[in-house]
Amino acid sequence: MGFYNMLKDMCFSSHLWISGRACEAVSGKQFDCLSPRDGKLLVRVAEGDEDDIGVAVKAARAASGSWARQSPKQRRRYLLQLADIIESHQDELALLESLDTGKPITHAKRDDIPLSINCLRFYAEAIDKHYDEIAPTASDVLATIRREPLGVVGAVVPWNFPLMIACWKVAPALAAGNTVVLKPAEQSPLTAIRLAELATAAGLPDGVINVVPGYGETAGAALGRHPDVDAISFTGSGPVGRLFLSYAAESNMKAVFLECGGKSPQIVFDDADDLDKAAQAVAQGICYNQGQVCSAGSRLLVQHSIADEFIDRVLSHVDAWSLGDPLDPATRMGALIESKHLERVQRFIDIGREEGATLISEGKRHSPCEGGFYLPSTIFDHVQKDMTLAQEEIFGPVLAVTRFKDEAEALELANATRFGLAAAVWTSSLSRAHRISRDIKAGTVWVNNYDGSDITVPFGGFGESGNGRDKSLHALDKMSQLKSTWIQF
Ligand code: NAD
């Protein structure tokens, strides 16, 4: 088998990448990078902290003037070269991602890596077609409105889609003329380091992209507080998102773009045309990536009249998501990211029982690879809207089912959350689809589908799901600042 064979010869890049070079951490420290697949050590990774962030920001600042002055066409060329080189390493990167996160290799190869490449190409191709503006002022003056780079952008990313989310940040930032310091999650630093290495191999100038692996409390906080960082683009949990707002307030009022968690509802009405398609989407919405997806459909709201039948359908689709070795191409559900997270998800399951929700499905616990962090999907019915299961982002394969009687109650339940990342509505009524998608508080609403996604469409949340938008041309707006120039002779 291809990937098992590749594993034998695998070597892991494990250094900081600053100014186009691999380096040790200033402190000389390293941390263990384990594979969730079997809990074994993959490699020890250089542990960056405040000193290393300082060096990386200096490198990014030094590179920023000349990178910003490159013509958009030139930046386009570099980013396309980077996309090409990633494409030529896609099997290696898919394997790295699967080993480092425990996700099925099939998904890493089909989704994470191609979507990363596509993202780089999209921003490369967009940037030399993006015009600035001239304002309609009086004729004795010319007022131009130009997008200028922000300068140095700090990108802080989570562990669930490490390379893809890094590319969502890095690609628009670089295209818009910024340089970047990327801080990957300590649980999954390997593809970020490789991204920077490949960028240098693709010819990107030194210092344009720098990567500092390390812990959030040290390296992440130092990036957030650094006075010479112009913006932070963050994806991760709400509590850490809040910290970045305070780091900015304490330091230089840098712009902070947050993409945080969710508790997204799938609302299924009794007039939905294709209940089986909906049930399949509900199963996928909670099982894909082991439920570790910000937009996971972690709440099922189903109309009373069809609830029993619909839940049976969901259970039969969930059966197809059995646990397996992430490196087996047939596997659809791999391992959770780390033992601490597995314990956290298990605690939520215990709380669900204690609070009186009805446990209706709990897959057989087993470990397809000894020592790994595996948890089958778990489904609770009769979850009340104020229960922990309905309110907290569990970030694992745990589905909370709540039944509703009519549209008004469905909408009330859907909006009874501090999050607002995504939602889905399953109905054959066009007017109901319009009403719900207008009234629901979420950055993305899917009607009769779940998880539709394309690089051309913005992704981000309302409320405590964040304030930024990744993907699409709108991401270029946040990576630039507007300058108005009044010209009169
Ligand atoms: P996390 O918030 O724990 O960590 C995210 C990043 O922040 C990591 O790089 C981490 O090292 C860093 N960090 C942690 N503590 C820090 C601190 N005190 N100071 C500075 N940096 C710190 O999140 P996670 O567990 O890696 O990822 C899961 C979360 O990410 C979930 O809440 C999920 O919903 C969210 N997420 C959101 C999106 C989106 O687009 N909205 C996408 C993917 C994941």
- Nearest alpha-carbon partner for 83 in 199, 196, 191, 206: 199
Q: How buried is 140 (Cβ within 10 angstroms: 0-12 exposed, 13-18 middle, 19+ buried)?
A: exposed
Residue 205, token pair as written in the block: 């100038």
| Mean confidence (pLDDT) of the chain | 97
Ligand 1 closest atom vs CA 159: 26
What's the confidence (pLDDT) of residue 49?
A: 98
Residue 9, token pair as written in the block: 């010869």
Upper half-sphere CA count for residue 370 (Cβ side, 13 Å)? 0
Is residue 364 very low, low, confident or very high in pLDDT (cuts 50, 70, 90)? confident
Is 340's pLDDT higher than 80? yes
Ligand 1 closest atom vs CA 261: 34
Write out the E strands in 285-418.
Answer: 299-303, 358-362, 378-381, 398-404
Q: What's the pLDDT tens digit per position in 450-473?
A: 989 999 999 999 999 999 999 999
Cβ-contact 284, 450 below 8 angstroms: yes
* CA of residue 165 relative to chain centroid, distance: 5
CA of 217 to the centre of ligand 1 (A): 12
Q: What's the pLDDT tens digit per position in 169-200?
A: 999 999 999 999 999 999 999 999 999 999 99
Long-range contact pairs involving 198-202 (C-beta distance under 8 Å, separation at least 24): 198/82, 198/85, 198/86, 198/89, 199/82, 200/17, 200/20, 201/85, 202/78, 202/81, 202/82, 202/84, 202/85
CA of 240 to the centre of ligand 1 (A): 6
Q: What's the pLDDT tens digit per position in 315-331?
A: 999 999 999 999 999 99
Residue 460, token pair as written in the block: 């981000």
Q: What's the pLDDT tens digit per position in 101-117?
A: 999 999 999 999 999 99
CA of 263 to the centre of ligand 1 (A): 15
Residue 359: strand, helix, or coil: strand
Ligand 1 closest atom vs CA 168: 40
Ligand 1 atom 12, closest CA: 216
Ligand 1 closest atom vs CA 236: 30
What's the confidence (pLDDT) of residue 444?
A: 98
What's the confidence (pLDDT) of residue 1?
A: 53
Upper half-sphere CA count for residue 99 (Cβ side, 13 Å)? 23
| Alpha-carbon dihedral sign for residues 50, 54, 55, 60 | positive
> What whole-number distance in Å separates Cα of residue 459 and Cα of residue 436?
19
> What whole-number distance in Å separates Cα of residue 335 and Cα of residue 403?
30
CA of 209 to the centre of ligand 1 (A): 20
User: What is the percent of the chain where pLDDT is above 70?
Assistant: 100
Asked if 259 is an active-site residue, the reply is yes
Ligand 1 atom 13, closest CA: 216
Ligand 1 site-directed mutation target among 31, 294, 471, most atoms within 8 Å of CB: 294
Is 345's pLDDT higher than 70? yes
- Nearest alpha-carbon partner for 466 in 180, 182, 164, 233: 233
Tell me the Ramachandran region of residue 285: left when phi exceeds 0, alpha when psi lies from -120 to 50, beta otherwise: alpha
Ligand 1 atom 26, closest CA: 158
Q: What's the pLDDT tens digit per position in 24-61?
A: 999 999 999 999 999 999 999 999 999 999 999 999 99
Ligand 1 site-directed mutation target among 211, 218, 235, most atoms within 8 Å of CB: 235
Ligand 1 atom 11, closest CA: 216
What's the confidence (pLDDT) of residue 451?
A: 85
**Residue tagged active-site, from 97, 186, 197, 259:** 259
Ligand 1 atom 15, closest CA: 216
Q: What's the pLDDT tens digit per position in 370-390?
A: 999 999 999 999 999 999 999
Ligand 1 closest atom vs CA 470: 40
Ligand 1 closest atom vs CA 240: 2
Ligand 1 pocket, CB under 6 A? 156-160, 165, 183, 185-186, 216-217, 220-221, 224, 235-237, 240, 243, 259-262, 294, 393, 395, 421, 461, 466
| Alpha-carbon dihedral sign for residues 303, 413, 237, 456 | positive
| Non-local CB neighbours of 82 within 8 Å, separated by 6+ positions | 120, 198, 199, 202, 204
Residue type (1 letter), 316? S
Q: What's the pLDDT tens digit per position in 203-216?
A: 999 999 999 999 99
> What whole-number distance in Å separates Cα of residue 290 and Cα of residue 334?
7
CA of 260 to the centre of ligand 1 (A): 7
Is 14's pLDDT higher than 70? yes
Tell me which H or E stretch contains 309: helix 307-318
Ligand 1 atom 30, closest CA: 236
> What whole-number distance in Å separates Cα of residue 281 and Cα of residue 106?
19
> What whole-number distance in Å separates Cα of residue 400 and Cα of residue 397?
10
